[in-house]
Amino acid sequence: MPRPISFELRDACVDFDGHAACAGLDLDIGRGEMVAFVGPSGAGKTTALRLLNQTVRPKSGIVRADGVDLATLSDASLRALRARIGVIPQDLGLVPNLRVSQNVLAGRLGRQGTLRSLGAILFPPRAQLERVLALLDRLGVGEKLYHRVDSLSGGEMQRVAIARALYQEAGALLADEPLSALDPARSRETIQLLVTLAREHELTLVLSMHDIALAREFVPRLVGLRDGRVLFDDRTEVIAEERYGDLYRLEGLTDSAGASRRGG
Amino acid sequence: MAAEALLSAPRPASRRGRLLAGVFLAAALAWISLGLSPADAVPGANGRGVLLLFLEGAVRPALTYEAEVPSGTTPLLLKVLAALRDTVVFAAAAMSLSLVSGLLLGFLGATSWWADESGCSASSFGRRVRCTLMPVLYTTVRALIALMRSVHELLWAVLFLAAFGLNSFSAVVAIAIPYGGTLAKVFSEMIDECPRESARSLRAIGARSPQVFLWGLLPRALPDMSSYTFYRFECAIRSSAILGFFGYPTLGYYLRLSAENVHYREVWTYLYALFAVVLLFELWSSQLRRRVVLR
Amino acid sequence: MTSPDRLERLRRERPRSRFLRASVALLALLAAYAWSCGSVDLVGLFSDRRLRNLRRFLEQDVVPYPLREGQSDAGALGRWAHGVLLERGYEAALATIAISVLAIVLAAVLSWCFAPLAAANVATRRPFDGDGRGERWAWRALRIVVRLAMILLRSIPEYVLAFLLLSVLGPETAWPAVLALALHNAGILGRLGAETIENLEPGPLRSLRAIGAPRRAILMAGVFPLALGRYLLYFFYRFETCVREATVLGMLGVVSLGYWIQDARAKQYYDEMLLLVGVGVVIVFAADLASALARRYLRERA
């Protein structure tokens, strides 16, 4: 099993829609830890997540993965790093007209050359297909192996996205609002699944969630973000009730940003 | 209520209205500059006779030659079929060339696979090369596409006639050039306009640009690209037919001969043959749409 | 079931479209047949005689007249080009544009007359009422007839139509070209218009009907304004094609650029011919630019 990845954010600062209001983020995420970013919309959850694999570059400050400053990486090294980080974006990022098997196999694109990937996805060797099937079975969607992704339900697509991330044999899993499109029963199932899988595969799990209740129930460490700043960062058991109130209070904490910021 | 929303003029409507007014103004100017009058559109005595003959032919297309022909001439219907076959063959050959060039040039003429969101900050040699080289290549390709598209296949055919004489391959290339250009332009637009979530997520897990294109962009654009190519094939058959007017062995050649001999019933036989092919394509494509797209 | 068997079963039972596969296979076979059946003569292109022809063409015929005569300064070249353009180029170019503008507008007007008759949600007993169950066959027949007429118009190439109209109307006016383009494009725009109408959101139209508006009123106040945006996009796309066709229709005898191109070709003045083709390229670029600007104007929300 690949080693889990550790992350560091040092005074990382991102432009929020052009606002200079830049709150430096300071975070340490150790190997194999499970963390959830919580907070209201516009708090910076998705952005913080994107900093971890350099999908977003910080305007200042440093982002490190396994101790390496991401900004110093060459294109090839960045790709190699990203291949080790599984990503489940909010819109799932699947290809609707391809089959489930092909979508999952695409997880390893980062490790293959272009020509090899053509062969690997169009004519996958049996061993790889069996691995894919095993992963899908674990997630309960094995029977849909050859179905087109756009013929699946939302929950099933979610699971295919998770399977793709797992197929990557990554050292970390970043999931952006993985529960937003699911109903309450499914949501519980999914967050439970994510946490269990992360433990099984020894992954560093970083989530962004807006559902505080589920986060408190399942994720051992919570980081509260508001307006791009860390409000609290601790093990779930020890966080005081008021802190959650602080997070979601409508007026209060000063910031120079307007209320109409989009995204996380 | 929805009806009220409809009746209160929204802002885009005024743009459309202005555009419409502009269009009609242009038409009026065109009318004046061409010096047309409705009276000229009514056929004179001679013309009426021709028109009548022509309309008659529509109702009773010829199944055998209208005039005496030397014995041993292939029957009319067989000739129609042979001409139809050659027409379709030229078109198919041309489309295969255009598809290849269209895919290649369309790929190079699209921006969504190389102009990625992280911008062109010169942080690495690879990126700097890509950011200076690609825009140049891109602009060249777009200029090439525009040039290819701007000369009609008939003009290419006539040019090649002068350069090479009557040759079937040059006819195929004459069609393939503008069609390749059109396919390239439309393909590049489809690639650039398709939803990018899959491309973005593949890049986020370490795929390189060609892979992002192959697996993130191309599959999403492919349905539209295929249906457009299919439509273009139908157009190519028409273009191939017209090339016959200049001597190539397609439908147009025989059509012109019959028309010049005032055998309008034969003309309609050829026209109905074309109509049949177009109808076939219509049915084929509506079946494809129903069975494949709607799931 | 052991894993390999299960994989096999899943593979066998996978959803696939036989029709699609058969279609793709058929098209590929057609392409292969096209290249191998001998109608397309690739080798004959490179025979000695043709290569000599090509050589002469490139080295002499195509070279502009002043250069051939040994005057290789830009001035002489410019004067020659200017002469050709003044005499015929400009006027023909303008005529070409005028023909295409008029033709496409006529086509649009015609198509708007027929498109609603072919749209399944308008030309039916209870418009916009959804599935159209229990409708009389007369409506369906009407729609089919209109669609067939549009397909017929579309299947006759503009060139052929113009050729035939020339015998009827004579070459003195531009009507054969204008009508040929207008009729052909009416078929195309009619079909596209019908599709646009069918793809409209039924909601607002249904509520217009619910307040008792007669069919004609719904068309004018509801269907047309809603469909106009999309339709205009198609309209401008077809305009671009019209300009290209109008250029070429001149080769039949109507005065557009094609007429002088054909004239130069008949006289074997290939240098002039190329110059005029170049003018054609310029007006096509201009038309494409105008169309792109118009489409962008349409798409931007104010």
A17-42 pLDDT tens trace: 655 455 678 888 888 889 999 888 77
Contacts of A119 (CB under 8 A, 6+ apart): none
pLDDT at A132: 92
Using 50, 70 and 90 to split pLDDT, how confident is the model at A256? very low
Q: What DSSP designation does B36 have?
A: -
- Kindly identify which residue of chain B lies nearest to residue C152, measuring between CA atoms: B275
Classify strands A68-69 and A60-65 as parallel, antiparallel or unpaired.
Answer: antiparallel
**CATH 3.40.50.300 domain span(s) along chain A:** 1-84+172-264
Distance (Å, whole) CA B34 – CA B36: 5
One-letter amino acid of B179: Y
pLDDT at C84: 72
Q: Of A83, A168, A167, give the one whose Cα is nearest residue A133.
A: A167
pLDDT at B33: 87
C30-72 pLDDT tens trace: 999 998 887 777 776 677 777 777 777 777 766 676 666 666 6
Domain boundaries, chain B: 76-293
Chains in contact with A via at least 3 Cβ–Cβ pairs below 8 Å: B, C
CATH match of C85-299 with 1.10.1040.10: no
Put simply, whether C204 touches B (Cβ < 8 Å) is yes
Distance (Å, whole) CA B229 – CA B227: 5
> ipTM score here?
0.84
Q: Which residue has the tokens 């083709």?
A: C277
pLDDT at A23: 66
- Domain boundaries A1-84+172-264, CATH class: alpha beta
pLDDT at A262: 40
One-letter amino acid of A38: V
Below-70 pLDDT ranges, chain B = 1-13, 116-128, 293-295
| Residues in A 159-198 with any Cβ partner in B closer than 8 A | 165, 168
Query: What Rg do the C-alpha atoms of chain B give, in angstroms?
Result: 25
* Alpha-carbon distance values, C101 to B32, B42, C239 (Å): 12, 21, 7
pLDDT over 90 at C100, yes or no? yes
Q: Of C235, C101, C225, give the one whose Cα is nearest residue B11.
A: C225
pLDDT at A261: 43
Put simply, whether B216 touches A (Cβ < 8 Å) is yes
Measured in angstroms, the CA of A112 and the nearest CA of chain B are apart by 8
Residues of A with CB under 8 A from a CB of C: 99, 126, 129-130, 133, 143, 145-148, 151
Q: Are A210 and A24 in contact (CB under 8 A)?
A: no
Question: What residues in A contact B203, CB-CB < 8 Å?
Answer: 82
One-letter amino acid of C269: Y
Q: Are A22 and A59 in contact (CB under 8 A)?
A: yes
* CB-CB under 8 Å, A54 with B202: no
C253 alpha-carbon distance from chain centroid: 21
* Alpha-carbon distance values, A89 to A33, A99, A207, C93, C269 (Å): 20, 19, 10, 54, 64
Contacts of C131 (CB under 8 A, 6+ apart): none
pLDDT at A18: 57
Q: Which helix (DSSP H) or strand (DSSP E) does residue A173 occupy?
A: strand A172-176
Biggest CA-to-CA distance, chain C? 87
Contacts of B34 (CB under 8 A, 6+ apart): C95, C98, C99, C102, C173, C174, C178
- Kindly identify which residue of chain A lies nearest to residue C5, measuring between CA atoms: A130
- Kindly identify which residue of chain A lies nearest to residue C9, measuring between CA atoms: A143
Question: What residues in C contact A145, CB-CB < 8 Å?
Answer: 7, 10, 14
Question: What residues in B contact C274, CB-CB < 8 Å?
Answer: 159
Measured in angstroms, the CA of C17 and the nearest CA of chain A are apart by 12
Distance (Å, whole) CA A219 – CA A33: 10
> Which stretch, A55-64, A139-148, C103-112, has highest mean pLDDT?
C103-112
Extract the tokens encoding C86: 């003044």
Into which CATH architecture does domain B76-293 fall?
Answer: Orthogonal Bundle (1.10)
Put simply, whether B220 touches A (Cβ < 8 Å) is yes
Distance (Å, whole) CA C194 – CA C187: 11
Task: Please tell me the pTM assigned to this model.
Answer: 0.84
Extract the tokens encoding A255: 């910031």
Put simply, whether A153 touches B (Cβ < 8 Å) is no
| Residues in B 17-46 with any Cβ partner in C closer than 8 A | 19-20, 23-24, 26-27, 29-31, 33-36, 40-41, 43-44
Using 50, 70 and 90 to split pLDDT, how confident is the model at A263? very low
Question: What residues in B contact C301, CB-CB < 8 Å?
Answer: 11-12
Put simply, whether C36 touches A (Cβ < 8 Å) is no
Q: Are B209 and A84 in contact (CB under 8 A)?
A: no
Measured in angstroms, the CA of A165 and the nearest CA of chain C are apart by 22
* Residue of higher predicted confidence among B145 and A258: B145
What value does the mean pLDDT take over residues C185-214?
Answer: 85
pLDDT over 80 at C136, yes or no? no
Best probe of the B interface among C102, C211, C240, C262, by most B CBs < 10 A, is C102
Strands across the sheet containing A25-29: A25-29, A7-13, A60-65, A68-69
What value does the mean pLDDT take over residues C18-36?
Answer: 90
pLDDT at B46: 80
pLDDT at A70: 86
How large a percentage of chain C has pLDDT more than 70? 90
* CB-CB under 8 Å, B1 with C19: no
Among the residues of chain A, which ranges form H helices?
Answer: 45-52, 75-83, 100-105, 114-122, 126-138, 154-167, 184-200, 212-218, 241-248
Extract the tokens encoding B6: 């409809």
One-letter amino acid of B295: R
Q: Are A150 and A96 in contact (CB under 8 A)?
A: yes
Which three-class secondary structure state does DSSP give residue A174? Answer: strand
* Residue of higher predicted confidence among A110 and A258: A110
